[in-house]
Structure 1
Amino acid sequence: SPFPVHINRQQVVHISGECCHCLRLNNLGIFRIHCHGQRGLIEAKIFNLSVGNHYDIGQKISFQLLESYEQLRQFPLEIFRTSLTILLTAQLRLVQERIRDLIVEEKSGCAIVSFQLFEIAAQLPKNEQVINILRNLIDKQAINLIDPNRRILHAICGSLVIGPKGESIDVKLFSQANGDYIGEFTPKKIGQYRIDVTCANIPIQDSPFFTEVYDPLQVHIGPLPKNILIGIENTLEINLDNAGNVPLEVIITSPSGINVPIKIDDILTMKKVHFTPTETGIHYLNVKFGSDIVPGTPIQMMVNNAHIISAYGDGIHHAVHEKEATFMIETKDMQGDLQVDIEGANSVIKTTIDRINNSLLKVTYIPVEVGFINISIKWNEKDIMNSPFTAIVTNPGNIY
C-alpha cells in the first residue's frame, strides 16, 4: 500500500464508412457502428435534407423520460398526449399548431416522448430557437411536465434527439457476431443526407453525420475551346447543375507528363477552368467528381502553336484609295472562327473573305479614305501574329 490503479478509458460507440462523407447516387451505402461491447438499443435514421424545406413538413423531436413506460401505461393515451402537448406548447411559448403528433412510445422499457415540430411562415421563434430552449430546459431539469395524476415527470439530461426537416430514407441494420452493426441504405436523389445513430436512445459520438450524394453522370464538360493555343490562356466550362455538391478535381496533363497549372472560377454550379499550356501536342483533360472519374474522360485536347496562323500580301501593308486591295491568311488546315475588322479614322471598311483551299483564305477590301487604317485579324477571338496591322492608304491622283 498504496496500490497502483490503472483506469482504462471506455471506448465510445462510433461509426465508420466511406459513405459517411459522400456517396454516388443509387449506390449502396454501407457503414459500420462500432459498439465496443456497449449495451443498448442501436437505431439509425437517415434523411434527405435537400427536400422538404417547406412549412408543411415537420421536424421530429424526441427525448427520454426517467419514468419507465410501464409506469405511464395506466393513463388513457389520448388524455396523456393532450396534456403533454398543452404543457410543452405553454413552456415553449408556441401556438398549438406547431407541436403535432405527440406520442409516448416504448423502447427497451423506456418512455420516449416524440413529436413533430412545425414552422409557420412569418412566425417566431424559428425551430432552431425552440430546440435550443427545449434543450436548456431538459439539461437544467427545468422542464415542467406532469402526468394526469399531477405527478412531476423527469426528462433525462442529454436525451434530446433532433430530427431534420427532410425526407426519411429506408435504412437497414444487421447485427454482427462481435456486437457491432452494419447499416445499409441506397439514396435515390442527389443532395445532402443526414445519418442519426442512437445507442440506448442517446445520440452516439458526433451524431448526426452528414453525407453528400452526387451523380457524376450529370457533370457536363464543354464547350472545349475550338483552337487551344500555346502560351495563351484558354478557358473551358464544366456544368455541375443537378450533379451534387462534392469536390471537383480537374487535371490537364501535357505530352511530357507535366500537369498544366489551372485556375477554377467557383461560380455556383458552372465552373470555368482557365489554363495556359506551355507545350504543343495532345493534352489530356482528366475530371474527377467526388470519388468517381467523370464518364467520357480523359478527353484529348490538341494544343497548337499560337503563331501558326499568319497573314501576308500587299493589302496588309498598303492600299490605294477606292481601289480593291487583297491579302492572304494561312490557317494550316486548322479549324476555327476567323474575324477580320478594318477601320479607318472615320470609316468601317467592308471585307470579303474567299476560301482558296483548306488552309488559305483571301481577304478583299476597298478603302474609302486616305490615311492609316487598322486591320485586326482574330482566330477564335485571339489575335494572330502581328495583329493588329497598320496599313497606309494613298491616292496617287492627288500627288503633284
Structure 2
Amino acid sequence: MDVLVIGSGGREHMLVKKLNQSDRIKQVYAAPGNGGIATEAICVDIKDDAIEELVAFVKKEAIDWTIVGPETPLTKGIVDVFRREGLKIFGPTQAAAQIEASKDFSKHLMQKYHIPTANYQTFTNSEQAKAYISEQGAPIVVKADGLAAGKGVVVAMTVEEAHQAVEQMLVHNRFGSAGASIVIEEFLEGKEFSLFAFVEGEAVYPMIPARDHKRAFDHDQGPNTGGMGAYAPVPNLDPDHVSFTVESIIKPVAKAMVAEGHPYTGVLYAGLIETKSGVKVIEFNARFGDPETQVVLPLLENDLIQVIEDVTSSIDPKLKWRDQYAIGTVVAATGYPGSYKKDVPLPELSDDSSCYLIHAGTKQGEMGQLVSNGGRVLLVGAIDNTIEKAQTEVYHYLKRFDQTDHFFYRKDIGITES
C-alpha cells in the first residue's frame, strides 16, 4: 500500500523510517518532509495544514493511509475532512484534538472526571491573573491556552517572573490568539516521564514510557524547548506508577472523551510527573511526541501500519518491544529556542552502524549538501542492551559537531535525571 506522512520534523522522519520496515508498504510519501526524509520517501511540496491540497493529492495518488504527525493540521480538522471524503487517516478529530489545542479544555476535563493534575485557574484579564499569582506565590506555571509550538509554558520561580509571563501573553500578545487566554497552575515537583498510547474510543494500548529533556542546556538549565533529547524505557520508573497512569489516567481520559461526545482515535500523549502525592498529568498531546517518538518507535517490534489497522478495527495489536534501551540527543542551532541562523552546512554525516539519524530542521542546499532549516536540526540515536552503552555510541558520533559554533547539544541526555 501507499502511505502519506504529514509533517516535516523528526517525529515524521521516524514515522517514515518505521513504515519503510514494513513489507506491506509499497511507497511512503511525506508532505512536506525535510532533507533527511527526502532520502527515504517521496516528498511532496504541500504544507502540513493545506488540507484541501492534501485531500486532492491523496485522491490523485490513491493513497491508502494518511498518518498525521504535527498538531496544527489536527486542530484545523484534517481528520474530519478526510473522513467526509471517505479517506483513511490516523489521528483525532478536531473536537478530540482540543485535548492539546486548549489547556483550559484539557484541565476542565481532568477536573470533571477526577484525573490527577495540578490545581489551576484560567484568565483573560492580566490584572486578575497577576493578583492570583501574588496570592498563590512562586514557583508557579503560566501557560498559553492554545498552541505555541512548545514555547507557551513559563515555569516561573519568582512572582515577578510570573507577572512578566502574564504581560507577554495577555498584554503584548506574544503568542497571538494562542495566548489570548492563559492557564495558571501550581508548580509540581518530581521526575517527569511521557507515556504514549494507541487509542480507539475506550480501547487503550499503551506503549513504553520515555523521558525527555526540555531545558536547552546541561543539568536542566536554560529556557524550555521542544525537547533536547530523550530515552526509553525509563530505568528507574516505578512499575506501579506506569500501571496507575494507564488505569487511572489514560483509560479514564479515553472514556471521558467518549462521554463528552468526542471519541478519540490516534496516539494520545500523556506528559506526567511523579510527585510525592502520586503521578499527575502535566499535559496531553493529540499525537506522537517529539523527541520521544524517536526513541520509542525504534524499540517497537510490530509493523506500524498493521498496528494502525488493528487499532482502528478494534483489534488488540499485541504490542511487542525490544528488551533494550534507546537514547537520542538533539543537535540544535546555536541560539535556539531564541533566534538562530538557517542554511548552515552540516558536518559530514557518515554512516555509523551503531547510530541512527533522524532529521528535523534540514533541507537540501543549493549545492546539493544538507543545510540547517530549523532550531532543532537532527537527532542522533542509538539502541543497546544498557543505557550507558547507547549513550557512549551517541556521544561518540556527536563529536563531529564540536568543530563548529553553529550547533550545540546537551552532553547529559539520559545521564542526569530530569
Normalised by the length of structure 1, the TM-score is: 0.23
Structure having the higher strand fraction is: 1
Higher RCO (C-alpha 8 Å, min separation 6): 2
More helix per residue: 2
Larger Rg: 1
